[in-house]
Structure 1
Amino acid sequence: MTRISLPGFDLDPDATDRPAVASRLQVADHDAEIPVHDHRKGQLILALHGAVTCEVANALWIVPPQCGVWIPGSMPHSNRATANARLCYLFVEPGVVGLPLHCVTLSISPMVREMILHLADVPQDYPRGGHVERLARVLLDELVQMPAERLYLPVSDHPKIRALAAALSANPADRSTISEWAKRLALGERTLTRLIDRETGLSFGRWRQQLHLLVAIRELAGGASVQRVSESLGYESVTAFITMFKKALGQSPTRYFAARLRNQDSAARGD
């Protein structure tokens, strides 16, 4: 059993056997990071504002505003939030409802978000069989209906892949070719190409583009401008960056976040 402790936030999620409990977290003036840990309960990390990145199950998961990442119980993970983040954590008792047995990013409807926020405002030891427990069970029934979004980057335990992921995460503007990366990693180009495909299921180009997409969402949610993000990712023009973003998510960065800001306004009581 693991206790989560951050400034202004203290919760032992496994201290209760209620079907679901929730708690809020506001990150102010600094990034907040929870190192690798696990707990018996499954966890939904909901971003009300800003964003959070989770590393779990050989992948990096990004949680933009009005989305949540579902992490099944007893699965080791770490979380890192942007400095402007407002989060809500929902912990779910195993076996209560048929949530996935794997990690997934979910698009959260305004109704489900409001139900989670309400649950965060009540005592975690709420009475059995009462109104709050009935609300919690309806919330979980609704949660399983939420659509999934492909906002993750596959990263395996292979040391070469992790070294590549760490280097590109530290400097996403690096436009080195796969041949150049192969030399740095002391591998042949064809060997590295096959390794990336085998370990991630993606080509090198697709894999790096997905990393760029996750970095872009995190930085834009943290308040950076489209121009700044485009430059930080090494794009030759803002237009090229917007084209990549729109191709991946169906909307330009401005429209993508405008839709989330509209939902965020109705969640103002989470301030």
Structure 2
Amino acid sequence: MTSPHLRQPPFRDRLPAPVFFRLESMPANGSYPQMRHPWGEFVYSYSGVTELRTEDKHLLAPPHMGFWIPEGALQLGFNRREVVHISVYISADLCGDMPDHTCSLVVTPLLRAMLDTLKEQVFDGSDRQSRFLRVLVDELANCTVTDSFVPDSSDRQLARILDVLRDNPADPRSNADLAKAFGLSERTLLRRCERDLGMSLTEWRQRERVVHAISLLQQGQTVESVALDLGYGTASAFIAMFRRITGITPARFVGR
């Protein structure tokens, strides 16, 4: 019997149109089977955080970013908490201006507005909708390509530290204390972070807090309570961090 948390893709070998889209509401701990498909796919979360594992990456897409998955790429999509996302499937012959590797994309304001429009629709194959989808594909090519929002590491000791911080983003220990707890010097820990994550551990921890904060805010918690849950002494410090990383304040994010 198939688990209710395992969703099957709607098709495997052929798209019903050159550009097709669908919305999906995923329960907590939802997932798709590992797969490849002969078309490109863009995934964007309206609420919650979607995650994607490939052969060499672990990507997260909070609501200001999305995934690009090129033709033939091995992928495994899942989410830890409830999420509503859209998948836009694009035939291979229309993907010439898109990246040739799986990556995260920073969603432009225009693309976000177009995606919000699709949230109120279902695919109907009409000429008007088809033209709209072709423009959306053009706008996808204008998005900035970036590395994973919260990257992972295959280093055993560093991966254990990251797992601890994912489970408790408010962990008050300093980088030095974390390094000592896992048998590393602080210098070794920071060097491995730069090598595997492409950023400092402090930056990684702040991004992980943003991901956690998004889920709490979308559940209706106040900015003040989220700040306290994440270990901030004041709401203003949390707001400044959130705005630096996402470009908007938590209140504006919730309002949007």
TM-score past 0.5 threshold? yes
2:112 matches 1:109: yes
Per the TM alignment, residue 171 of structure 1 is displaced from its structure 2 partner at its CA by 0.6
Q: Counterparts of 2:179 and 2:67 in 1: how far apart (Å)?
A: 33
Q: Counterparts of 1:199 and 1:251 in 2: how far apart (Å)?
A: 28
- Per the alignment, residue 235 of structure 1 pairs with 232
Per the TM alignment, residue 147 of structure 1 is displaced from its structure 2 partner at its CA by 5.2
2:36 matches 1:39: yes
2:80 matches 1:78: no
Listed one character per residue, the Cα deviations across residues 41-88 of structure 1 (whole Å, up to 9, x for unaligned) are: 33222223x222313353341332x753323341323321643x4322
Distance 1:144 1:159, change over 3 A: same
For normalisation by structure 1, the TM-score amounts to 0.75
Q: Does the 8 A contact of 1:59 with 1:152 survive in 2?
A: no
Q: Counterparts of 1:165 and 1:8 in 2: how far apart (Å)?
A: 26
Listed one character per residue, the Cα deviations across residues 200-236 of structure 1 (whole Å, up to 9, x for unaligned) are: 1212222212221222223223433212221221111
Give the residue type in structure 2 aligned to 1:80: N
Q: Counterparts of 2:245 and 2:22 in 1: how far apart (Å)?
A: 32
Q: Does the 8 A contact of 1:31 with 1:81 survive in 2?
A: yes
Residue of structure 2 aligned with 1:204, choices 197, 201, 212: 201
Q: Does the 8 A contact of 1:70 with 1:103 survive in 2?
A: yes
Q: Does the 8 A contact of 2:43 with 2:87 survive in 1?
A: yes
Judge which range, 31-40 or 146-155, deviates more: 146-155
Q: Counterparts of 1:5 and 1:67 in 2: how far apart (Å)?
A: 29
Q: Counterparts of 2:9 and 2:147 in 1: how far apart (Å)?
A: 29
Q: Counterparts of 1:140 and 1:204 in 2: how far apart (Å)?
A: 35
Distance 1:31 1:233, change over 3 A: same
Q: Does the 8 A contact of 2:44 with 2:61 survive in 1?
A: no
Return 5+ residue gaps in structure 2 as ranges: none
Give the residue type in structure 1 aligned to 2:21: A
Q: Does the 8 A contact of 2:103 with 2:147 survive in 1?
A: no
- Per the alignment, residue 156 of structure 2 pairs with 159
Distance 1:217 1:45, change over 3 A: same
Q: Does the 8 A contact of 1:45 with 1:70 survive in 2?
A: yes
Residue 164 of structure 1 aligns to a residue whose secondary structure is helix
Residue of structure 1 aligned with 2:178, choices 159, 181, 190: 181
Q: Counterparts of 1:203 and 1:185 in 2: how far apart (Å)?
A: 17
Q: Does the 8 A contact of 2:5 with 2:30 survive in 1?
A: no
For normalisation by structure 2, the TM-score amounts to 0.79
- 1:56-135 equivalences under 5 Å are 56=53, 57-64=56-63, 68-73=66-71, 74-80=73-79, 82-83=81-82, 85-97=83-95, 98-100=97-99, 101-107=101-107, 108-114=111-117, 118=121, 120-122=122-124
Listed one character per residue, the Cα deviations across residues 90-134 of structure 1 (whole Å, up to 9, x for unaligned) are: 22233422222231134233235435865x423xxx69xx77655
Distance 1:229 1:181, change over 3 A: same
Give the residue type in structure 1 aligned to 2:114: M
- Per the alignment, residue 141 of structure 2 pairs with 144
Relative contact order (C-alpha < 8 Å, sep 6+): which is higher?
1
- Per the alignment, residue 20 of structure 1 pairs with 19
Determine what percentage of the aligned residue pairs are the same residue: 24
Q: Does the 8 A contact of 1:61 with 1:105 survive in 2?
A: no
Per the TM alignment, residue 5 of structure 1 is displaced from its structure 2 partner at its CA by 8.2
Residue 43 of structure 2 aligns to a residue whose secondary structure is strand
Q: How many residues align?
A: 245
Judge which range, 31-40 or 175-184, deviates more: 31-40
